[in-house]
Amino acid sequence: MNKLIFILTILVCFLTVGHSLGKDSITNDYQSSILSHIVNPHQHQLKFYWKDENNKNYASFQNLKSSLESEQKKLVFATNGGMYNQSFSPQGLYIENGKTLAPIDTKNNGYGNFYLQPNGIFLLTKDNNPEITTTVDFENSGNVQYATQSGPMLLIDGKVHSKFNKNSKHINIRNGVGILPNGNILFAMSKQKINFYEFATYFKLNGCKNALYLDGFVSRTYLPSKQWEQLEGNFGVIIAVTE
């Protein structure tokens, strides 16, 4: 009996390690093509930015960085925070410091990635709790500190968006955001062109239940800790971490 238990124990360990190695090997395939950054919203200073004190768009990470430095603050991480209109105003809902600066867009028959249903909203509550929800499920009871609407959703309840095609030839640079099982936020940007299915799968492999696409070919990331310093750009909303 003891011998049987020993054999079964070894077999379970082997299967467990094999499964872990399989997952890690898949995740490692993304390491050279995906730039990622994890943020603990309860420990890091995460904010959304659109316009400065003179009501002028920050537009680029360089402009935001310079503005922060004038306040003796350091820009640690920045990424473009969603799609924007020709006037560089946010496309869809945008809430900053508890104030709604752009209304929610509930149309479901528009053109482009934003309207590939379901689209969604990434938000941070006044208690610094992050959430990603589909637009139709969004509710604001007055506890939302920051929010940006974009689309499409990449993951919905742990499932890849049903309209994504694994073999799609529609590839592009992409950036997005997901919520990890421990409540931390996973930001990611592809260094190479990638399709929606592949990009969504990256968030799924990391354990995210919900993830949201932010934008495509215009996507940029500032992350000096990983030797990635894209300071150019011309955006609407910017999501940034400072210290």
Backbone angles phi, psi at 42, to 5 degrees: -90, -10
Ordered alpha helix ranges (H), the chain:
2-28, 61-69, 196-205
The total number of structural domains that make up the chain: 2
Q: Across the chain, what does the average pLDDT equal?
A: 89
Residues 19 and 64 both lie in one domain: no
Residues 226 and 178 both lie in one domain: yes
Residues 39 and 26 both lie in one domain: no
pLDDT at residue 29, as a whole number: 62
Residues 126 and 208 both lie in one domain: yes
Residues 92 and 54 both lie in one domain: yes
The tens digit of pLDDT for each residue in 119-147 reads 999 999 999 999 999 999 999 999 999 99
Distance of alpha carbon 113 from alpha carbon 229, whole angstroms: 27
Give the whole-number percent of the chain exceeding pLDDT 70. Answer: 88
Q: How far apart are the first and last CA of the chain?
A: 59
Residues 15 and 121 both lie in one domain: no
Average pLDDT over residues 153-177: 96
Strands (DSSP E) contained in the chain are: 34-39, 45-49, 75-80, 94-96, 99-102, 120-125, 130-134, 144-150, 153-156, 159-160, 175-179, 185-190, 211-215, 221-223, 228-229, 238-242
The tens digit of pLDDT for each residue in 188-231 reads 999 999 999 999 999 999 999 999 999 998 999 999 999 999 99
Yes or no: say if 150 and 82 are a contact pair by the CB < 8 Å rule. Answer: yes
Residues 23 and 75 both lie in one domain: no
Residues 107 and 195 both lie in one domain: yes
Q: Hey, what are 6's tokens? A: 């020993």
Please state the pTM of the whole predicted model. Answer: 0.87
Residues 224 and 157 both lie in one domain: yes
The tens digit of pLDDT for each residue in 52-61 reads 999 999 999 9
Boundaries of domain holding 21: 1-30
Residues 16 and 79 both lie in one domain: no
Residue type at position 165:
N
pLDDT at residue 132, as a whole number: 98
Residues 11 and 99 both lie in one domain: no
CA-based nearest residue to 148, from 101, 106, 186, 209: 101
Residues 120 and 1 both lie in one domain: no
